[in-house]
Structure 1
Amino acid sequence: MKICHVAMILADHDVCRSPYHPYIFFINKSYLPGDTPGPLQKYREEELVDLRGDGKGERKEGERIYDYDVYNDLGDPDKGKDLARPTLGGSSKYPYPRRGRTGRPPTRTDPKCESRLFLPINLDMANIMAGYAPRDEKFGHLKTSDFLSYALKSLAQVIKPALESYFGRNEDFKSFDEVLNLYEGGFPMPTALLETMRNSVPLPMLKEMFRTDGEQFPRFPVPQVIKEDRSAWRTDEEFGREMLGGVNPLIIRRLNEFPLKSKLDPKVYGDQNSKITEQHIKSNLDGLSVEEAIKNNKLFILDHHDSLMPYVRAINRNTDHKIYATRTILLLKSDGTLKPLAIELSLPHPDKDELGCTSKVYTPAAQGVQSYIWQLAKAYVAVNDSGYHQLISHWLNTHAVIEPFIIATNRQLSVLHPIHKLLQPHYRDTMNINAQARQLLISAGGMLESTCFPGKYAMEMSSVVYKNWVFPDQALPADLLKRGVAVKDESCPHGVRLLIEDYPFAVDGLQIWSAIKTWVQEYCNFYYKSDDMVQKDPELQAWWKELVQKGHGDLKDAPWWPKMHTRQELIETCTIVIWISSALHAAVNFGQYPFAGYLPNRPTVSRRFMPEEGTPEYEELKRSPDRAFFKTVNAQIQALVGVSLIEILSRHASDEVYLGRRDSPEWASDKEVLEAFRRFGNKLAEIENAIVTRNNDKNLKNRVGPVKMPYTLLYPTSEEGLTGKGIPNSISI
């Protein structure tokens, strides 16, 4: 039973005010504003006024006020210029979705920057939350919230500095066997290092987080990507498969022109067009010409060139990292797998941006030094994809874009409103986990900057990408059509036909999307019998107006926003919100450890450029390719901290609520609604069985791949822990 934020059941009463707390208790029946019984109307309106607050003062623990603010809390300029960061949101240069307002005082150095919290590590679990979130948004699952909060704080504030003091910042792994020791036995824990951690983090917590017995640290679970085969991750087939059924299957698109042209402004960046020619790839086109391959929808591209190139020079000059902007062209083979044909690594012209880029093209090789160079080329691509995944696919396109919806919903839609009741389960814990992320993960000097290639430019880069964010394109069918990996076909169950038939994320995702949309359609049509009812609902219209003009205010003038005049617009909007909060987040989050827990498969940093012939680095590559590989990718400390972090964030809570389920079976009183929800749950169970069947089909080579790892990230249910499957209702971690 929850108060206020979720309607309560009270026998023979519509409403009751608690004598002990300033909360109003409502029955679980939904009412549109115009249908609200007279005695309830006053309380309905009063509660919304209370939830909005007055926009003044610092928010305190226990308050239930929802308001908006820009991301001006990421930097810490009082501790030095290196920790200053631009404000994201409120400007055309750095647009961003809004966050929940906390109202903390400004820093001494910069009055526009909000001061940060001091978070001591202690055993008082009541004080471990990372800043204000409205009381109703606090973690409901206490054991999990304690562990998550304590683990993140311990990792950021104690364990990471202790490891840095022991390893140094640039100590390399020496071999693949040394990496495997992380999973099979750990490495000797120096007494001084152990004591440092024990003094701040009790050994039971260390054991639960990292399975250290006090002698060896850490001892990670074996990631699924190497559980069955330790070397299959290095194959070209697995490299291509993970673009379709890995942790970031959202970027690949169909190639419909050749050579590829850049969309960057040539007045600013010069000639950024691809230098990959037909000569580079024609011998691997299975007898096709480039023109024929394009016409037959056989060429695809993983393109991280235009999104990264504006920052490559700054990153290479002002951080310890050395990156390229990359393009990877692949061929769709007759067996449904993708074969990489060429990788282009590009750098800005050494003199200035306006002179364009310098590019080198690498093609597959199976032996000799060229095979080692090819493996490094794939590693540079993986670095780009890992960073883009964390910053854009994961943080921006799920966590950040949903927070304004949560705020607007609570400010403008009463808990009695059917749309509030529909969406509220898909908001659980999101504002709270986002607050912790701003404090510990995405802040200046935080975990993401420390372990990911953009470094201090990470969040700024995500702001630049947000400029091109389009809400209707977040619908899965629209996304697949926009990327050209599907075409419209009304004869297909979802209205689109995939051009890569064995595309695990898309195949499973379309079934989940369709199930969500059917449920939302039945639900909305029960309460709204006509478009006119949508237009005349004052709470709904206020919700949508505020969401567009304030929550995503930097994009408020975009022509693509739905007008919220029809039932279809309402259904599509709610379906997108639920899809992002549940299935999309599950697809990009819970595969982090299974795929990237083995760092060589998904490095997040490159520390030197490709060895050039005639240099000592090139000779070292010929002599000791594994050593050269580990001198290029993450150092030990970056690997240990990064793997520790994604292990924490890839776990399911013990009391997670999965898609198609609710906290309480009595969440609604309308029998038709409950019956539609039961059908939704049954449909998801059917989808589970279908996923198992597809994963057992030997003809579908992308479902399991060379690493023998079934694609289960959109399997709706899961057990507790590190499972690589399960779709929670909300972005709860």
Structure 2
Amino acid sequence: MVQYDVTVFTGDLAWAGTSNSVYIKLVGTEGESERTHLWKLLHTPFHSGAKSEFTVSCPTSLGDLVLIELDKQSYFHDDAWYPAKVEVTSPEDKTYHFPIYHWITDIEMHYFREGTAKIDDGSPLPGGYSRQQELEQERKVYCWDIYEEGIPHCIKGKAASLPDDVRFSITKKKEMAYNYVTGLVELELLEYAECKKKFTCMDGISRLFFLHRTPISEYVSHHWDDDAFFGYQYLNGVNPLVIRRCTALPENFPVTDQMVFTHSQSSLTDEMKNGNIFLCDYKLLDGVPANTINGKKQYLMAPLVLLWKTNNDELTPIAIQLKQKPAEDNPIFVPTDSKDDWLLAKIFVRSADFNLYELSAHLLRTHLLAEVFAMSLLRNLPMVHPLYKLLIPHTRYTLQINALAREKLMSEDGVFTQFAACGGEGAIQILQRSLDSLTYSSLCIPEDIAERGLNDVPNFYYRDDGLKLWEIIHSFVSAVLGHYYETDDEVQHDAELQTWIHDIYEHGFLSKERTGIPQEFTTVDEMVKFVTMVIFTGSAQHSAVNTGQYDFGGWMPNYPTSMELPPPTKKGDASETRILNTLPDVSTTVHGMGTVWLLSRPSADSVFLGHYPNEHFSEEFPLQKIQEFQDALKKLSADIKDRNKKLSLPYTYLDPGVIENSVSI
């Protein structure tokens, strides 16, 4: 007889342990063991966080171990079990690793491959196991659904009915068991939730805001009406995706030199030639039907904004047109107009930016795409595939947070539907239009920055930090995947990999060729670039557009969810009273504050970029590359912190120390 030393690790999660009887079978190239009961005298070995050691005896050596079979049986009380991993040391003193990280809730047999990452080479495995069998089972569990036509597909099912493996931990579940009322309680605003009165002065808004502030939101409250800060937010606020260098004015934006350079020798032609003019165009919002909130019709504009880089390297707005079609009743506002005219025009822009940002930059380009990436991964790549091992940490909680968003924010009685200018119908239109205009290159920050002509814009910290993060992630992905794919031919003949990318093309981008999303991979470099984008989107990009929501939106006049009066049709009509009457009422304001507060607060069980507590890889090479990845992220974090010490308004959202691995909030 020979003996195999078996160590079973139960996950360190609430309710991860089981009192059920657990059985194991070892399967090797030369045979298999008997199904063996794993038990300990006088105590239950599989409690949460337990490391339990056993012995499995066999008549002869099993050869190289290729998989284990696990099952549990209940005689009195059935409970779920979350094994993290199993390690087996053979009589030849070789240790085999079996990553699991899977909830076992039934009495069926479960198969887990030895942890060495492998691309499918078509070789049969002993024990009647096949990769295709695993994938067929996963496709029954993770089913595609269509929430609305024209937007990326999603997982089928409500948040409460999702598979256990993708659900929140107990800690996260308690944090997320909220509706917007919870946020109002935390901000001490609940008593104002049903108040439909208008603000009569800015001090009234201040009284709500000052109950909870962050250092950045405090800065925003003091500088929100400054032209330089208005321009700064297009670079380092929560929506750095709409600004682009302007080389020729749009035909529907007839700005003249006399409007913007009244007392200067400059001209728009010269300034555009020098690269100093920038455009923000909200044409995606044109014609979107506006909401009705608290019985009042709301207003959502589709403005055009022209900005100028001054001699002291500040971006400042120089012209605003609030509707797309030029007309006598659609004036172009400029800084030399009355203070109230100019401020009201800027507020309309900020409200438009809120609606476009939340739906396009935030929901579509991070949440919905991350869900597609996760779904395709779970349906098309077996656990032993190297790409599965690389990407599965970057899917944590994404499916459930998105299911909750559909139920709590986007549904008929959801917060966004009730309290944003676009409402539910308009939100779907914006998502559809945004997907229609989405391109692969715009998801890859080096190409996106270059295409928008922003490579040399000063004080652009989103760009600076984002490009460095992209390079670090790309280097890591290239090293790890290059270890398993030595040639382009291996990429082309990996049917599982090709199905993964085609599923993304079909269900995420609705088979639209004009997006430029690959339908297949032909080279290692193509695959590495796409996987880099997937990780960047779910981690860094989401952090950039999510983390600062309360920082920039807590002070409502800087980011109003809606506008309650139509835009001015001529100059000279604006006043402080009109501005206050145009801003959202008290109820809409506090619901907006509560929502952005909840959506931007960190979780107690966050897992940050580059940290992989679940050990999916077991070989020395990828483990070494993970360590190098972590070291590079630590250095970047230190550099960002040093840079921020010199800034009056630090940019923290792309510090690796605050970036989560996945879209989880």
| TM-score for both structures, normalised by structure 2 | 0.80
1:557–1:591 Cα change, 3 Å: closer
Equivalent in 244, 253, 256 of residue 277 of structure 1:
256
More helix by share: 1
1:446 has 2:414 as partner: yes
One-letter identity of the residue aligned with 1:462 = L
SS of 2:118 mapped into structure 1:
coil
One-letter identity of the residue aligned with 2:491 = V
Please list, as runs of the form range in 1=range in 2, the aligned pairs for 1:104-253 lying within 5 A after superposition: 130-140=159-169, 142-152=170-180, 166-168=194-196, 171-184=197-210, 219=211, 221-228=212-219, 230-253=221-244
- In structure 1, distance between residues paired with 2:486 and 2:117: 15
- In structure 1, distance between residues paired with 2:160 and 2:624: 40
1:302 has 2:280 as partner: yes
What percent identity do the matched residue pairs reach? 27
Structure 1, gaps ≥5 residues long: 54-64, 72-87, 90-94, 103-116, 118-129, 185-218, 262-272, 350-355, 486-497, 698-703, 718-725
1:290 has 2:277 as partner: no
- In structure 2, distance between residues paired with 1:165 and 1:550: 39
- In structure 2, distance between residues paired with 1:29 and 1:677: 16
1:68 has 2:144 as partner: yes
SS of 2:506 mapped into structure 1:
helix
- The answer (yes or no) to whether the contact 1:341–1:363 under 8 Å persists in 2 is yes
More displaced, 387-396 or 440-449?
440-449
- In structure 1, distance between residues paired with 2:127 and 2:556: 57
SS of 1:302 mapped into structure 2:
strand
- In structure 1, distance between residues paired with 2:109 and 2:191: 47
Deviation, 1:669, is 1.2
Equivalent in 581, 588, 595 of residue 638 of structure 1:
588
Instruction: String of CA shifts for 1:392-412, please: whole Å, max 9, x gaps.
Output: 000011111221221111111
Please list, as runs of the form range in 1=range in 2, the aligned pairs for 1:503-542 lying within 5 A after superposition: 503-542=460-499
- In structure 1, distance between residues paired with 2:206 and 2:184: 24
- The answer (yes or no) to whether the contact 2:362–2:545 under 8 Å persists in 1 is yes
- In structure 2, distance between residues paired with 1:6 and 1:255: 56
- Tell me which residue corresponds to 1:10: 87
1:429 has 2:397 as partner: yes
- The answer (yes or no) to whether the contact 1:275–1:359 under 8 Å persists in 2 is no
- The answer (yes or no) to whether the contact 1:225–1:598 under 8 Å persists in 2 is no
One-letter identity of the residue aligned with 2:146 = V
1:467–1:40 Cα change, 3 Å: farther
More strand by share: 2
- The answer (yes or no) to whether the contact 2:505–2:517 under 8 Å persists in 1 is no
- The answer (yes or no) to whether the contact 2:180–2:594 under 8 Å persists in 1 is no
Instruction: String of CA shifts for 1:120-151, please: whole Å, max 9, x gaps.
Output: xxxxxxxxxx44322211013x2222121234
Deviation, 1:687, is 1.0
Instruction: String of CA shifts for 1:359-408, please: whole Å, max 9, x gaps.
Output: 2111114xxx8111111111001001111110100001111122122111
Deviation, 1:247, is 1.0
Deviation, 1:22, is 5.0
- The answer (yes or no) to whether the contact 1:473–1:479 under 8 Å persists in 2 is yes
Deviation, 1:695, is 2.2
- The answer (yes or no) to whether the contact 2:303–2:349 under 8 Å persists in 1 is yes
More displaced, 390-399 or 326-335?
326-335
1:466 has 2:423 as partner: no
Deviation, 1:156, is 10
Deviation, 1:319, is 6.7
Instruction: String of CA shifts for 1:263-284, please: whole Å, max 9, x gaps.
Output: xxxxxxxxxx113222211237
- Tell me which residue corresponds to 1:712: 652
1:21–1:644 Cα change, 3 Å: farther
Please list, as runs of the form range in 1=range in 2, the aligned pairs for 1:672-711 lying within 5 A after superposition: 672-697=621-646, 704=647, 708-711=648-651
1:327–1:341 Cα change, 3 Å: same
Instruction: String of CA shifts for 1:419-446, please: whole Å, max 9, x gaps.
Output: 0111111111111011001111011231
Bigger CA radius of gyration: 2
- The answer (yes or no) to whether the contact 1:10–1:27 under 8 Å persists in 2 is no
- In structure 1, distance between residues paired with 2:433 and 2:530: 24
Please list, as runs of the form range in 1=range in 2, the aligned pairs for 1:361-376 lying within 5 A after superposition: 361-365=332-336, 370-376=338-344
1:179–1:324 Cα change, 3 Å: same
Deviation, 1:460, is 2.2
1:561–1:315 Cα change, 3 Å: farther
Equivalent in 604, 611, 617 of residue 668 of structure 1:
617
One-letter identity of the residue aligned with 2:442 = D
One-letter identity of the residue aligned with 2:129 = K
Equivalent in 409, 413, 417 of residue 377 of structure 2:
409
Please list, as runs of the form range in 1=range in 2, the aligned pairs for 1:479-558 lying within 5 A after superposition: 479-485=448-454, 498-555=455-512
- In structure 2, distance between residues paired with 1:640 and 1:40: 60
- In structure 2, distance between residues paired with 1:257 and 1:41: 66
Instruction: String of CA shifts for 1:233-290, please: whole Å, max 9, x gaps.
Output: 22111111111111111110000102x13xxxxxxxxxxx113222211237x63221
- Tell me which residue corresponds to 1:343: 320
One-letter identity of the residue aligned with 1:360 = P
Aligned CA RMSD, in angstroms, stands at 3.1
- The answer (yes or no) to whether the contact 2:221–2:555 under 8 Å persists in 1 is no
- In structure 1, distance between residues paired with 2:434 and 2:127: 45
- The answer (yes or no) to whether the contact 2:193–2:587 under 8 Å persists in 1 is no
- Tell me which residue corresponds to 1:655: 605
